[in-house]
Amino acid sequence: MPVPRILILGATGGLGRALHRHLVTRYETTAWGRADLDFEQPDTLAAKLAAQPFDVLLNAAGMTSPDVCEVQPERAFLANAVAPQLLAECCHARGARMIQFSTDYVFSGESHDLWNETDETAPINVYGRTKLAGERAVLRASPSALVARVSWLFGPDKPSHPDNIIQRALQTDDLSAVEDKVSVPTSNLDICGWIEQLIIRHPTTSGVLHLCNSGIASWHSWAEAALEIAARLGLPVKTTRVQPIKLASLTQFKAQRPLMTRMSNARLQSLLGGEIRNWHDALEHYLVQKYQPK
């Protein structure tokens, strides 16, 4: 099999940067940010893609803030649904494979079971609705495409919940985090490895696939886990305890958040032929790499 040429969109985001760093040393890889391809100018997308050689397109771009999406729904629909459809049409026309990143927010959050790829979707905010519209548009335009749903990303390229809670704990012991919102924290670095395997070893895998670590967490338990690891690493955190609060108490949010969006990674495990590590192990690996003295 020839070495695939890979085009990554969303190069300035945490996942896009991680994918580029992981893939560029072994494959002909190009990474574009918004300056290279602006989803708010859909008329320009086809011509720019036509001028760029690639065999696989990884779309990690889009509007990802639920609150921004809620107050700017037209822009969100353009970025999360219209543009991905145009990308998929271009990929299908040239015989390239598209991997579209999506989100656990396509689910209602009302179930306490694991969400499977075949479960009914019922997003409760603009972000989830536009991402779901993007999923459907991509798969209609390019049936060979893969939609990769991810949740609660963390990694070295962009501060996330564990980074933020550690930084706060270095300053104060007055910390709180939501205890009734539950999903699966997922390592960007692990996603990079899974994506590489899906590109090289599973070139015909299509449809929807959940890309997440194993286990379950709330924002509260994720925060306390990060602080306990930080303390073991010798960081001078002022506490490892976090006050549990309810999501409903965070009245500053403009968009409603789904409560229970823990996704099953059984299909991913079956494809890759091995256990997917627990989010806690992935978090510890990340924090050790970040804070352990070299």
Q: Which residues are catalytic?
A: 127
CA 17 – CA 207 distance, rounded (Å): 24
CA 263 – CA 157 distance, rounded (Å): 24
**C-alpha distances in Å from residue 130, one per residue of 62, 90, 134, 144:** 10, 20, 6, 21
Name the helix (H) or strand (E) containing 13: none
Alpha carbons within 13 angstroms on the beta-carbon side of residue 170 total 10
Residue position matching structure tokens 């001078």: 236
Three-class DSSP category at 98: strand
Residue 77: count of CB within 10 angstroms of its CB: 18
